[in-house]
Amino acid sequence: MTKFILAIDQGTTSSRAILFDRAGHIHGAAQQEFRQFFPQPGWVEHDANEIWQSQRAVIDEVLRSNGVPASDIAAIGIANQRETTVLWDRATGEPVAPAIVWQDRRSTPCCEELRADGHEDLFQQKTGLVLDAYFSGPKLKWLLDNVPGARARAERGELAFGTVDSWLIFKMSGKHLTDPSNAARTLMFNIHTARWDDELLALLDISPGLLPEVVASSGVAAHTDARLFGVAVPIAGIAGDQQAATFGQACHSPGMAKNTYGTGCFMLMHTGQTATISQNKLISTIGWTLPKGTDYLLEGSVFMAGAAIQWLRDGLGIIKSAAEVEELALAVPDNGGVLFVPAFAGLGAPHWDAYARGTMVGMTRGTNKSHIARATLESIALQSADVLDAMQADAAMPLTQLRVDGGAARNNLLMQFQADILGVPVVRPVVTETTALGAAFLAGLAVGFWASQEEIAAQWQMERRFEPAMAKDERAQRMGEWRRAVERSRAWSQ
């Protein structure tokens, strides 16, 4: 019998490969960072070949270092950074331009033009999304408009578009595929009919021939080329990273919610098998498609979370590693009146202000690096509190607890402040690698490695529960101060 599921967790700053056993435990893991490119203000790019090379390297490493032959792998599950846009040559498999990362804002003028022409409601009603540069469709339009010869080549069927899942599947199998959770992040996919939408494609001036085939999130979609790993391994799970994390957190029924603290912060609430179109500037999105149907989620996306801690390390140099931020923040009893709005790439939900910029307020002569570290941690929780307020208004479901994961979820100071500012318990699981775990679960269900959702939900275990300890009056005061700071950051860039 095969012994493991191999989860690919292709993130914004690193590629990872993790082996899971039948108990949902990590048997081995490997990780490799890759370069980030910032060619102009508001632009963020990746080298798609470097993404593939780093992902291939960590797969080889995790198998080799753990003595696991590829024949012991039951299936591969893929979770990927979403919205990042890759355009490549079908014949050579080579990218025709750098990948445009989800954080990139260059397609804002395209979105503004569509909004001015009165199309915003149409996009929201069909896709569940806000008309914003965050999503893949406007990024793809920018590539077709600006890469010499790209539009003509696309019309001749020579090019292929994909989010990172599609790119990895193409490199591993030669197939051009995606799943509904990734397709739903493009502004080109109708989440109600589960099809690419001809009307939206026409508005974006994008040829349908560029687009991947959409397959189920859980199901054998392709097999790897046998030359890659020595045997052909089924690719059986595909999901955008945040949907995968929601599945991995066993948020399988309406009202359950999780927050992932990664490069950005992503809070998702299960809303059932019908899409809830937000009235509060959140995203309605497909969670996953299983044989029994499609589950939908409400999502609020915060662009800068762990990335703000990286900025303390790489930009300010006040810490040498992200792990040091908690100790530095604990050197002071509070933030000393400092509030930091990390709107380096604009503000996401529920503000959607592409022109907001990073802002620090309340500093005095007594402000030191510990206050800045504490304000940075608190900004992550405060942004998430804004999202939860909007989410509860949309879903009309009071949240009873928030399940958390991601790198910064290991920070106890941040998690306690998150519970305090939300007024609900924050629950951290034993396995915080829930993005990879969710991809593994989707793949394992497809090949019978796990028998049912009930079996995998039973594997979820709590590691620690953070109870809210802040008085309601103080919570209201802190949120009021935060919203004043957010207003200072808005519409700063022209």
Query: In this structure, are residues 266 and 434 in contact, taking their beta carbons and an 8 Å threshold?
Result: no
Q: Does 108 belong to an annotated binding site? A: no
pLDDT of res. 368: 95
* 259-275 pLDDT, tens digit each: 989 888 889 999 888 88
60 is in an annotated binding site: no
| 306 marked as part of a ligand binding site | yes
> How does residue 276 score in pLDDT terms, banded at 50, 70 and 90?
confident
Q: Is the pLDDT of residue 369 over 70?
A: yes
d(CA 13, CA 35): 7
Q: What is d(CA 481, CA 342) in angstroms, rounded to the nearest whole number?
A: 15
To the question of whether residue 411 is assigned a binding role by annotation, the answer is yes
**Band of the pLDDT at 153, cuts 50, 70, 90?**
very high
242 is in an annotated binding site: yes
Name the residue with higher pLDDT: 87 or 348: 87
Tokens representing 166 are 């599609």
- Is 438 labelled a binding residue? no
Tell me: is residue 296 an annotated ligand-binding position: no
- pLDDT greater than 80 at residue 396: no
Give the sign of the dihedral formed by CA 102, CA 98, CA 223, CA 3: negative
State yes or no: pLDDT of 407 exceeds 90. no
Per CATH, the homologous superfamily of domain 4-241 is ATPase, nucleotide binding domain (3.30.420.40)
- Mean per-residue pLDDT over the chain, rounded: 93
The count of C-alpha atoms lying within 13 angstroms of the C-alpha of 211, restricted to the half-sphere facing its C-beta, is 24
CA-CA distance, 149 to 132, in Å (whole number)? Answer: 26
pLDDT of residue 352: 86
Query: Residue 412, annotated ligand binder?
Result: no
pLDDT category, 41, cuts 50, 70, 90?
A: confident
Asked if residue 82 lies in contact with residue 163, where contact means CB atoms within 8 angstroms, the answer is yes
Mean pLDDT of 320-338: 92
The average pLDDT across 125-140 equals 94
Residue 376 annotated as part of some ligand binding site: no
pLDDT above 70: residue 282: yes
- Average pLDDT over every residue of 141-164: 96
The candidate with the shortest Cα–Cα distance to 309, out of 377, 222, 404, is: 377
> Comparing 116 with 390, which gets the higher pLDDT?
116
Domain boundaries, the chain: 4-241
- pLDDT at residue 397 above 80? no
56-98: pLDDT as tens digits: 999 999 999 999 999 999 999 999 999 999 999 999 999 999 9
| Contact (Cβ atoms closer than 8 angstroms) between residue 186 and residue 137 | yes
DSSP for 102-165 reads TT--TTHHHHHHHHHTT-HHHHHHHHSS-S-TTSHHHHHHHHHHHSTTHHHHHHTT-EEEE-HH
Q: Please, what's the b/e burial string for 429-442 (b: 16 or more CB within 10 A of its CB; e: otherwise)?
A: bebbbbbbbbbbbb
Task: Determine if residue 50 is labeled as part of a ligand binding site.
Answer: no
Consult the annotation and say whether 209 binds a ligand. no
452/118 Cα distance (integer angstroms): 45
- Over the stretch 441-476, which tens digit does the pLDDT of each residue have? 999 999 999 999 999 999 889 999 999 999 999 999
Region 319-342: mean pLDDT is 93
What pLDDT score was predicted for residue 1?
A: 63
Tell which residue, 272, 279, 270, has the closest CA to residue 299.
270
Ligand-binding site membership of 241 (annotated): yes
